C-alpha cells in the first residue's frame, strides 16, 4: 500500500501533534505567568504532559471491549468513593472534594466526568434496539446520572456536577431518545432555575449574582471576572507581547496560572492567540466526532462523541467564565491550566477515543467495502 511501515501510519500523528501544539503553547504561557521562569509551573506541566501522553498511548492499545466490560465496575467504585468523600473527605474552600490516600489526593468527582459518559453509553449499547422509545430507556439513565450528580452537588461543587449531568445527557441525546424530551425538559429546567437558585450555598449565590453584574463588587468576589476581562481586553488584537503582560506579572489577575490562564495568554498574545487556541480545540473536537461517526459499535461511537463533548464542556465553561459569560465555577482549561487531575481526566478521554479510533480502523480494514 505504501512505503511507510504499517505501525507508523497506524499511529495517530495528527491528533498527537495537535495536542502537542496546544500543550506546548500552554507551557509557554505558564512560563510567562511565572515571570519568565520554567519554575515552578512550566516544567511540571511539561513533564506531566509527557507522562499523561504516554498513559493515553497505553490506553489506546487496549481493546474497546475491555472498557465496556469494566465500565459498570468503575462507575460503582467511583460512586462508593463519592460516598466516602462525603463521610471522611478533606475540606477545601468550603467544599468536601477529595480523599487523602497518603501518597496522593484522590478526587473521585473528577474521574466521574468520563466514567459517566462511558456508563450511560454502555447502558444504551446494552439496551435492545426496540426499547429506545420506551420509558425503560429513560429512567435507568436518569438514575445513573442522578446519583453521582447529587453526590457531587452536595460537596458542593456546582461546576463538576453540571459537567457530569451534561456529559450523561449528551449521551442520552446521542442514543436517539425522542427530541421533544430534550426540548421539554430544557423548558422545565429554565423554569426551575429560580427555585434551584434558592437552594444554592451563599457563596454560590453570590458568585452567580456577581457574574450577572461583576462591577457591583469589583474588589470582592467580582474581582476575578473584572481583572480577567481587563487582561483580555487590554491585550487587543496582537497582544502586549510575550512576557509583557502587566495584569498577570503584577499580580492583578488572580489565578493567572490555573483557572484564568486563558486571560494570561490573551493579554500577551491578543485576539490572534485566542483564535488560534479556540481553533485548535475545535480541531480536536472535530477529530473526536469524526472518530465517533466512522465507528459502527454502538458503545464505542457514543463513548467517543460523549468524551469529546466532555472535553468541549471543559473548554466552553472555562472560556465563558473567563470572558464573563458564565459564573466563576472553577473549571480549568485543558492542557493550559496548571494542575494534574484535570489533565489526567482529559488525557484519559483522549486515550479512550484513540483506542476507539484504533479498533474501528481494524474492524473496517478487512471488510470496509462490505
Using CB under 8 A, list all residues that contact another protein.
Answer: 129-130, 132-135, 170, 173-176, 178, 227, 229-237, 246-247, 250-252, 266, 270-271, 274-275, 278-279, 281-282, 285-286, 289, 292-293, 296, 298, 301-302, 305, 309, 312, 316, 319-320, 323-325
Q: In 10 A of CB 193, how many CB atoms?
A: 9
8 Å CB contact between 201 and 340:
no
Distances (CA, A) of 191 to 169, 186, 298: 18, 9, 34
Could you tell me if 263 and 77 are in contact, meaning their C-beta atoms sit under 8 angstroms apart?
no
8 Å CB contact between 41 and 33: yes
Nearer to another protein, 147 or 289 (CB): 289
Query: Closer to another protein at the Cβ: 119 or 155?
Result: 119
Shortest gap between Cβ of 292 and another protein (angstroms)?
Answer: 5
For residue 112, what are the CA distances in angstroms to 54, 105, 172, 341? 22, 15, 16, 12
Ramachandran region, residue 279 (left: φ > 0; alpha: ψ -120 to 50; beta: rest)? alpha
Looking at beta carbons only, is 280 or 340 nearer to another protein?
Answer: 280
Name the residue nearer to another protein (CB basis): 42 or 277: 277
Cβ distance to another protein smaller for residue 106 or 174: 174
Distances (CA, A) of 144 to 75, 122, 180, 243, 325: 9, 11, 21, 47, 30
CA distance 256 to 276: 20
Nearest distance in Å: CB 344, another protein: 23
State in angstroms the smallest separation of the CB of 182 from another protein.
10
Minimum CB separation of residue 156 from another protein in Å reads 26
The residue among 85 and 177 lying less far from another protein, judged by its C-beta, is 177
- Shortest Cβ distance from residue 180 to another protein (Å)? 9
C-beta of 309: minimal distance to another protein in Å? 6
Shorter beta-carbon distance to another protein: residue 48 or 298: 298
State the nearest-atom distance from the C-beta of 102 to another protein, in Å: 36
CA distance 287 to 289: 6
Q: Does residue 133 sit in helix, strand or coil?
A: helix
Amino acid at each position: 500500500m505504501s512505503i511507510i511501515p504499517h505501525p507508523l501510519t497506524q499511529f495517530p500523528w495528527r491528533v498527537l501533534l495537535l495536542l502537542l501544539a496546544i500543550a506546548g503553547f500552554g507551557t509557554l504561557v505558564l512560563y510567562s505567568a511565572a515571570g519568565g521562569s520554567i519554575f515552578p509551573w512550566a516544567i511540571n506541566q511539561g513533564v506531566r504532559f509527557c507522562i499523561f501522553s504516554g498513559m493515553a498511548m497505553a490506553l489506546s492499545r487496549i481493546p474497546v471491549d475491555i472498557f465496556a466490560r469494566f465500565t459498570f465496575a468503575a462507575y460503582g467504585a467511583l460512586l462508593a468513593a463519592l460516598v466516602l468523600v462525603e463521610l471522611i473527605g478533606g475540606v477545601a474552600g468550603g467544599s468536601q472534594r477529595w480523599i487523602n490516600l497518603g501518597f496522593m489526593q484522590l478526587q473521585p468527582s473528577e474521574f466521574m466526568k468520563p466514567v459517566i459518559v462511558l456508563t450511560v453509553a454502555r447502558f444504551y449499547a446494552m439496551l435492545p434496539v426496540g426499547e429506545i422509545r420506551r420509558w425503560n430507556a429513560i429512567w435507568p439513565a436518569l438514575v445513573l446520572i442522578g446519583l453521582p450528580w447529587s453526590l457531587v452537588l452536595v460537596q458542593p461543587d456546582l461546576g463538576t456536577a453540571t459537567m457530569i449531568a451534561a456529559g450523561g445527557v449528551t449521551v442520552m441525546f446521542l442514543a436517539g431518545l425522542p427530541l421533544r424530551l430534550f426540548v421539554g425538559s430544557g423548558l422545565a429546567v429554565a423554569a426551575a432555575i429560580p427555585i434551584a437558585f434558592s437552594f444554592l450555598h451563599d457563596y454560590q449565590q453570590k458568585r452567580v449574582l456577581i457574574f450577572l453584574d461583576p462591577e457591583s463588587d469589583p474588589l470582592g468576589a467580582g474581582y476575578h471576572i473584572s481583572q480577567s476581562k481587563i487582561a483580555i481586553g487590554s491585550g487587543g488584537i496582537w497582544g502586549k507581547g510575550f512576557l509583557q503582560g502587566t495584569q498577570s506579572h503584577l499580580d492583578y489577575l488572580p489565578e493567572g496560572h490555573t483557572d484564568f490562564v486563558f486571560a494570561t495568554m490573551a493579554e500577551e498574545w491578543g485576539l490572534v492567540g485566542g483564535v488560534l487556541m479556540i481553533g485548535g480545540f475545535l480541531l480536536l473536537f472535530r477529530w473526536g466526532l469524526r472518530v465517533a461517526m466512522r465507528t459502527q459499535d454502538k458503545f464505542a461511537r457514543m463513548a467517543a462523541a460523549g468524551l469529546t463533548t466532555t472535553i468541549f464542556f471543559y473548554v466552553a465553561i472555562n472560556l465563558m467564565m473567563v470572558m464573563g459569560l458564565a459564573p466563576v465555577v472553577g473549571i480549568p482549561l485543558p492542557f493550559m491550566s496548571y494542575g494534574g487531575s484535570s489533565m489526567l481526566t482529559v488525557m484519559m478521554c483522549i486515550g479512550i477515543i484513540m483506542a476507539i479510533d484504533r479498533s474501528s480502523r481494524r474492524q473496517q480494514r478487512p471488510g470496509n467495502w462490505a
